[in-house]
Amino acid sequence: MEKIAFAISIILLLNFGLVAAHGHNFAEIKQLLGLEVRCNELTEEQLEAIGDYYMEQMHPGEAHELMDEMMGGKGSESLKQMHIQMAKKLYCKEDVGGMMGSGGMMNMIGNNMMGNYPLYYGYNSFWNMLRLIFLIGVIALIIWLIYKFTKKGKESETPINILKKRYAKGEINKKQFEEMKKELRE
């Protein structure tokens, strides 16, 4: 059984090498990843394709294309090496050092490579949007509470309310209250 799986993986690897030369077919790369081939059995082209696959997973579509351009563009040696290093780091679990090690490339990927911006797009966008809605709600609640308490203070200090308080305390009698109330309404 193990020999059959090994033979299938060799056939896939050979076919995969041909596809990698013409462009990366991510469906075949997923199959290759599922076989869990040892890193020392992979060619540089296969490692490059795996790294390219991981980059697509982290930064899908146009973001991936932009990052490829920033690393030298399609077909460049620097992009090829970056994809290989990414595959060695993520698939092979190797400590590759340099830009990929201890906060180098992986930090740049997490910070979107365009500056120190957190990853607000892609997989985290739903949760970030939810946090933003919650934050707006909290701010709106605070503003509403401040408005409500300051408005109540102003309402209690209207001339009619002051007059009612004086009448309730016994400072003025009913006749004085009615006269003053009539004057205030005019």
Domain residues of the chain, as ranges?
2-119, 125-185
Give pTM, 2 decimals.
Answer: 0.42
- State the Cα torsion 5-10-14-19 to the nearest 10°: 40
pLDDT at position 116 is 43
Please count the CA atoms within 13 angstroms of the CA of 108 that sit on its side-chain side: 14
Residue-wise pLDDT tens for the chain (186 aa)? Answer: 455 555 455 555 444 443 343 356 778 887 777 777 888 888 888 888 888 888 888 888 888 888 888 888 888 888 888 888 888 888 888 877 655 544 445 444 444 444 444 444 455 678 888 899 999 999 999 999 998 888 765 666 788 888 888 999 999 999 999 999 999 887
